[in-house]
Structure formats: C-alpha cells, structure tokens
Amino acid sequence: MKEIILGSIMGTAVGDSLGLLYEGLSSKRQRKLYKNINSQKFFMGKGFISDDTEHTLMVAHALYHSSGDEEIFSRYLARSLRKWIISMPLGIGFASLRACIKLLVGFPPEKSGVFSAGNGPAMRSALIGIICGNDIQKMKSLVRISTRITHTDPKAEIGALTVAYAAFIAGTKKEVAPSSFYEGLKSLLIGYESLEFLKIVEEVVDSVYNNESTREYVERLGLKNGVSGYIYHTVPVVIHAWLSYKGNFRKSIIEMIECGGDTDTTAAILGGILGASATVAGIPEELQENIYLFPYSKKYIENISHALAYKNKRTSEIQVKEPFWGLSLIRNLIFIPVIAFHVIRRMLPPY
C-alpha cells in the first residue's frame, strides 16, 4: 500500500511540475514556443508544483489525522485550506478562491463551497480512492466533504468521485478493461444525477476501443484551445488517457500535456492515477528529482505515505506535520518574477 500511495503522490507532483509551464496554451501554441516537453524546465531546468500537488498533500494530511472520521477530516482539510489561501497561492481557480475566503472569514466547511463545476475537487481526490476504495460509502462521504468544501455543483462531486474510483482501481489491478471500468462506475454512481456524465464516459470507452489517441479525442470534442477547467471536460479526457495507458509513464503524461489547456491539472490528475498503478518505481527517477517541492520535500512525501499505509499498526509511529504556511508565502513571493517572465514570454514570437 505504501508504494501505491507514494506512487500516486509523486505521480501527481511529476504531472503537475511538467504541465505547469504549458498551462493555458493550446497544443498549437505549445509547439510554437517549446520544442520539447520531455522534462521539467520552469526555472533553471527544474519544475514547480502548484495547487494540484498542494491540495493532494492537504488531503493526505487530513486522512492521516482523521483515520476516516468525517468530522475530523473536514476540520483538518478546512484548516489546511485556510493556511493555504493566506500564503497567496498563484494561479488559484476563482471558485476555490471564493470558498477559501469564506473559510478564512469564519464560514464552516459545510457552508463554504460555491456553486461551480470546476476541476479543483478532482485534483485532490485520488488518495481518497486509494485509501478508502474498499469501503465505498466511506469513499463517497470523504469525496463529498472534500468536494463541497469548495464546489457545490453535483457535477464536481461526480467528477471527483470518478477520479477517486479510477485511482483505487489502478492501485488494485495492473490491467483495466475500459468496459469493466465503465460498468463499475455506472454502479458506483447509482443515486447521482449522472446520466450526462455516464454518456460521456461511454463515448470515452468507445474511443479507446477504436484506438483513438487522447489528443484525437480532445480535438473531436472541439476543444481547440485545449482541455478546459470544466470538470466534465477534464475528467473524461484524463480517464481516456488512463484507459489508453501502455505502460510508459513519461509518454502518457506528455501526451496529456500536448492536448493543451489546463495542463498542470490534467497531467497531475493523470499522474495520480497512473502513479497508483506504476508505483513510484515506475516513474522515471529524474522526473521525481527534478522538482522544487519546497516547502515540502520528498522525505515528507515518503513519511506521509508510510503513515497513511500503516496508520493502524504499531510499526508506524511517524509524526508528520504540515510545513509552516509562511514558508509557502515566501516561496510564492520570490517566484512572482518567474511567473511574470513566462507570462511575457507567451506574448512574444514565434506566432
């Protein structure tokens, strides 16, 4: 279990750090500006993590402290989000921003969410599936809490639950038949307003069986500027890439990024699912080492993975504390010029 958890978290961080440089770019503009997506190159040849990895680690921390207790999980996740928002995170989604401000001014977690179907909840749900997938009701409850703390549109919950379920399946089966996944998801979503979403996933399954690439699938959807932040765009495309996985982690993440759009989030979600399957041993080591994780560290990720895997065993008395939020604030302030450089670079030739 530890290797599955560690693989999912590191897969998220790798996808996030690879995709961040290309966020918001269409696949055509990517090819104009950057010749090679083979490694991280956001700053001095390394990659940054963004909110995708940070939210995954917040959920890991909440799961560690709560041991599945829903009230404690909600409390710890809300506490982490409050600290995160005052660290001035860069590139935060509007729905998450409004929800976190509501938390900061005193709204309880069950009332802080805003009506949105953005992809924020999907980027932090993989671990819930891996940890709680054998207890379907517990998985549903924790996904609901994690989702509604920021996003209240039922579509957001359906998308997040799909990612959690995919990560659970990826961690338990080396090969997943697309039709089998669809039938399992269909059963899982009984009681949800999911007819529209299941129709989309059914089309994804057909596309995979027809050997259509993920990029071809995205182009057929008419997403000329890339995959948007709408959860009914993000999650189906990620599921397509996962079900098309041929065992090459780097290649799959790069193909996801080449679809364009919200590339850090799509690559991070895909990385979280693939990492559960490949485990950390299946993720290229140089991609793991080539990330600025500060204020986190690889040791922190290893410790939280160990603690989650062995939470109920005496052998696991590892105490894991979240980094001081002020360190994230310092990091974000220092790298504002780097962000500004990349924004300006995008405005320049070649066109």
Return the SS3 of 300: helix
Angle of the 136-148 helix axis to the 154-172 helix axis, nearest 10 = 140
Residues forming a β-bridge with 261: 25, 227
Query: What's the CA gap between 335 and 30, in Å, rounded?
Result: 22
SS3 262: coil
Domain ranges of the chain: 2-346
Beta-ladder partners of 47? 291
Q: pLDDT 10s digit of each residue in the chain, 351 long? A: 999 999 999 999 999 999 999 999 999 999 999 988 999 999 999 999 999 999 999 999 999 999 889 999 999 999 999 999 999 998 899 999 999 999 999 999 999 999 999 999 999 999 999 999 999 999 999 999 999 999 999 999 999 999 999 999 999 987 899 999 999 999 999 999 999 999 999 999 999 999 999 999 999 999 989 999 999 999 999 999 999 999 999 999 999 999 999 999 999 999 999 999 999 999 999 999 999 999 999 999 999 999 999 875 544 556 789 999 999 999 999 999 999 999 999 999 998
Three-class secondary structure of residue 6 per DSSP: helix
Whole-model pTM?
0.97
DSSP one-letter string for 164-193? HHHHHHHHH-SS--HHHHHHHHHHHTTTSS
Give the residue numbers of the binding site. 50-52, 262, 264-265
> Domain 2-346's class?
mainly alpha
CA atoms 24, 47, 13, 101: torsion sign: negative
> Residue 337 in 3-state DSSP?
helix
Task: Report d(CA 264, CA 12) in Å as an integer.
Answer: 9
Contact 40, 22 (CB under 8 A): no
d(CA 327, CA 177): 44
Which residue ranges are tagged as binding site for Mg(2+)? 50-52, 262, 264-265
